[in-house]
Amino acid sequence: MNGARLETPLDTSTVATVVDQSGAPLLESTPPGVQLLPGRLRSATVDVGLVGLGYVGLPTALAFHAAGCSVLGVDVSDARRGAILSGHVDLIESDQNRLAAALTDRDDFVLTGDPGRLETCRAVIIAVPTPVDDHLVPELSILRQACAQVVENAVAGQVLILTSTTYVGSTNDLLVTPLLRRGLRVGEDIHVAFSPERIDPGNDRHAHEEVPRVVGGVTPACSAAACEALGSYAANLHVVSSPAAAEMAKLFENTFRAVNIALANELADVSRALKLDVIEVIEAAATKPYGFMPFFPGPGVGGHCIPCDPHYLLWQLRAHRQPAPLVDEAMKAIAGRPARVVDRVREVLSLNGRGLTGARVLVLGVAYKPDVEDVRESPALEIIDGLRRVGAGVAYHDPLVPSVRLHDGSVLASIDGPAAYDADIVLVHTLHDCLDVGWLEGAQLILDTSYRLRDYPQRFSL
């Protein structure tokens, strides 16, 4: 252990760089001598409890454990806990190594399906999925259940940190108000904060401990307690004035990306009409050392953040009768991108003397991004559905995704030996580093929605 216990007052000189929204040290806004966690937790034996061990919760748990904290991981899925214990989970290499080390330390890295054990934790971090439904309405049932379980098992002296992306005000609605009903005074008996997750699956360029964490506590003492907990592993913490400010910051992060991806997709269509290479154009613009950030086009967006999170903002704004036309149009454009891919497949086939009905289409890569096994919200699934609806025969090859369940409930398995499929057109969707693409030289036609292939004469761009 590195001594990162939460019952001691925050020491910003040894834990992390901590500033508030004005850039001032956090402790300047904290009354002198404040005791961040009043009294010891009589039953506390664990430093950190993680509720939800998915693509966010598990890497976060491993970061805490690697920093020397004892960790209790709570996940209601027996299958997920079993996959973690067997090591069969989709993690970057450094996290795979951390998992292997954690699984040998069963005293300080414990998995359970029992939320009642959270009462033994000094800090509890909630990291559960917050998807949208088929009507693009936030699906909050998982988050509500997780927060209710945390509140039910909360004990005085704990710090509770919500990290799941959600609507502005959710920390108050789902944690603060229910805690007050239980008689726990937030900021005195117990501490509550929102600190949005910043996990990018498959991205090993930014170590978890190096990515700054935004922290918004209900009170200054709540912020300080949350910083003490997160500072066990995070090197930089940026404190804002409230949980609501932190919630909005997270929504803005992903809405910013959504709007710019929609713009990049539109620029790709414009560049093709003008017979220009959109990647050449973007790379040239990106040489500007200020005022520009490159975004690149593609077949759509997947995962959890970009396809879902802006809809939490749009959904909430409807209740306030507050329009956000730029965001709304960007999300509509993103939602329509897979259908544009289907239309483009039809165009390319037509240019080469055949129709889409009855054509053999091979989709290369179905994960939502390179080098992950994740197909959540992957545009490939909607593209495959669209191609099949108009009578095309569709197969896919993805060594990281053995099978997928399509929107109609049917299951499609990845084929081996894609060169032998004899496709009329290969639709390049996701290029994993492990993919061998040499066989594409023999493909009849290639529609490159990744914009990463250049040297194939039979290649068409989206």
State the catalytic residues: 305
**Distance between CA 71 and CA 96 in Å, rounded?**
17
Return contacts of 38-43, CB within 8 angstroms, 24+ apart. Answer: 38/156, 38/157, 38/188, 38/189, 39/156, 39/157, 40/7, 40/157, 41/7, 41/122, 41/155, 41/156, 41/157, 41/158, 43/119, 43/120, 43/155
**Distance between CA 205 and CA 66 in Å, rounded?**
18
Length of the chain: 462
Give the largest Cα separation in the chain, rounded.
Answer: 79
> Are 111 and 85 in contact, with CB atoms under 8 Å apart?
yes
Q: Which residues, other chains included, contact 235 with Cβ-Cβ below 8 Å and sequence gap of 6+?
A: 16, 17, 209, 210
> Are 447 and 460 in contact, with CB atoms under 8 Å apart?
yes
Which residues on adjacent β-strands are paired with residue 426?
Answer: 362, 446
**Distance between CA 341 and CA 338 in Å, rounded?**
5
**Distance between CA 231 and CA 10 in Å, rounded?**
9
> Are 218 and 243 in contact, with CB atoms under 8 Å apart?
yes
Q: What secondary structure does DSSP assign to 267-307, as a single string?
A: HHHHHHHTT--HHHHHHHHTT-SSS-------S---SSHHH
Tell me phi and psi for residue 362, to 5 degrees.
Answer: -110, 120
Between strands 411-413 and 403-405, the pairing is antiparallel
Q: In the numeric block, which tokens belong to residue 235? A: 């090197």
Q: Which one, of 357, 329, 342, 181, lies nearest residue 262 by Cα?
A: 329
> Are 401 and 366 in contact, with CB atoms under 8 Å apart?
yes
**Distance between CA 94 and CA 361 in Å, rounded?**
36
Q: Which residues, other chains included, contact 274 with Cβ-Cβ below 8 Å and sequence gap of 6+?
A: none
Per-residue CA distances from 398 to 288, 401, 404 (Å): 36, 5, 10
